[in-house]
């Protein structure tokens, strides 16, 4: 029989012989931690980005894909500046400026005057940039399809919901952590 810790409703460790829970972490939580480590290593090796670069065969670099991704995430909420790109990528603003300048030269980004403050320059994707982004997103979808091959559709839908919920929880913890620094 499993015993649930009143402070941790997900703690369902088996009871020891005397009714106490066995020492040690919840195996399910330990499994999540191990999966997080493996995912971090995959992310650190830039597997998806490297695969995308190989498949689309452009002269892009991983940092270019990162900058395009930042614009995709930020643009629906606010105007995107070089400073915002550098901040999101956690790089020096001068490096962010060089990345943006290179993407402008390649025709994937364009500079424009801010509608909020005409003295400020913003960055947005061109049609060519949007096409590259769509290619990258398609490759990501293909990798996810391959990784979940053989999964029942209900499992995929449930995983999508749970993975999003988990990520939202981690993002909230990051916000709290950064506010405390």
The alpha carbons of the chain give a radius of gyration, in whole angstroms, of 22
Q: Within a domain: residue 92?
A: yes
Q: Within a domain: residue 91?
A: yes
Query: Which tokens in the block code for residue 66?
Result: 């990162």
* pLDDT in the model for residue 129: 93
For range 104-125, the mean pLDDT: 90
Range of the domain at 78: 62-134
Total domains in the fold of the chain: 1
- Residue percentage of the chain with pLDDT more than 90: 66
For range 165-176, the mean pLDDT: 94
Q: Within a domain: residue 128?
A: yes
pLDDT tens profile 82-92? 999 999 999 99
More confident residue, 22 or 134: 134
Q: Is the pLDDT at 59 greater than 90, yes or no?
A: no
Mean pLDDT check: name the lowest of 24-33, 140-149, 161-170.
24-33
More confident residue, 165 or 115: 165
* pLDDT in the model for residue 18: 53
Angle, CA of 34, 40 and 41, to the nearest 5°: 95
Q: Within a domain: residue 103?
A: yes
Q: Is the pLDDT at 24 greater than 80, yes or no?
A: no
Q: Is the pLDDT at 29 greater than 80, yes or no?
A: yes
Give the Cα separation of 123 and 141 in Å (integer).
26
Q: Is the pLDDT at 43 greater than 60, yes or no?
A: yes
Query: Which tokens in the block code for residue 101?
Result: 């300048």
For range 116-137, the mean pLDDT: 90
Q: Within a domain: residue 47?
A: no
In the Cβ-directed half-sphere of 109, how many Cα atoms lie within 13 Å? 29
Q: Within a domain: residue 5?
A: no
CATH of the domain at 109: 1.10.10.10
In the Cβ-directed half-sphere of 33, how many Cα atoms lie within 13 Å? 6
* pLDDT in the model for residue 23: 66
* pLDDT in the model for residue 56: 86
Q: Is the pLDDT at 118 greater than 80, yes or no?
A: no
């Amino acid at each position: 029989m499993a015993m649930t810790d009143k402070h941790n409703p997900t703690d369902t460790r088996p009871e020891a012989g005397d009714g106490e829970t066995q020492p040690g972490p919840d195996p399910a939580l330990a499994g999540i931690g191990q999966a997080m480590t493996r995912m971090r290593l995959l992310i650190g090796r830039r597997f998806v980005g490297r695969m995308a670069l190989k498949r689309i065969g452009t002269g892009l670099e991983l940092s270019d894909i990162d900058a395009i991704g930042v614009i995709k995430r930020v643009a629906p909420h606010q105007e995107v500046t070089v400073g915002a790109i550098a901040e999101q990528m956690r790089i020096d603003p001068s490096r962010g400026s060089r990345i943006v300048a290179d993407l402008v030269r390649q025709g994937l980004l364009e500079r424009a005057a801010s509608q909020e403050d005409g003295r400020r320059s913003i960055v947005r994707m061109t049609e060519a940039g949007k096409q590259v982004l769509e290619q990258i997103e398609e490759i990501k979808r293909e990798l996810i399809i391959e990784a979940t091959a053989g999964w029942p559709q209900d499992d995929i839908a449930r995983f999508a919901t749970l993975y999003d919920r988990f990520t939202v929880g981690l993002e909230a913890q990051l916000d709290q952590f950064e506010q405390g620094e």
